[in-house]
Amino acid sequence: MSAHSLPYVLAFVGENENGILRWRTEMILKAFASRGLSYKLIDLKSEGWREDLKNALAPGKPKFCFSFQGMGMALTIANGENIWTRIGDRKSVV
């Protein structure tokens, strides 16, 4: 995976049969990288995904996020607020 500096793309994968969605996501991210966009892939099946997400967001907001099947789009913070709503309302992530 690419180390990122802004602008970057943030992608999510999770449970899927035979890893096909992860494979396709990685192919898309490599295409972005070939055009100068760095990226970070968050695997929601990984035990450390929360820390991975925190580290990915630390430098600032991603240029955009994507996933197949909406994975990662319903993430919430401690008070139940959608993380993307929170990030969208702020100039910085932290």
Helix (H, G, I), strand (E, B) or coil at 82: strand
Enumerate the domain spans of the chain.
8-88
CB atoms within 10 A of CB 21: 18
Are the C-beta atoms of residues 65 and 10 closer than 8 Å to each other? yes
Q: Which of 15-19, 45-49, 68-72 has the highest mean pLDDT?
A: 45-49
Share of the chain above pLDDT 90, in %: 44
Q: How sure is the predictor about 16, in pLDDT bands with cuts at 50, 70 and 90?
A: confident
Angle at 30 between CA 50 and CA 15, to 5 degrees: 40
How high is the pLDDT of residue 4?
Answer: 44
Are the C-beta atoms of residues 78 and 21 closer than 8 Å to each other? no
How high is the pLDDT of residue 6?
Answer: 63
Sheet holding 38-43, edge to edge: 38-43, 8-13, 64-67
Specify the pTM.
Answer: 0.80
Q: How sure is the predictor about 2, in pLDDT bands with cuts at 50, 70 and 90?
A: very low
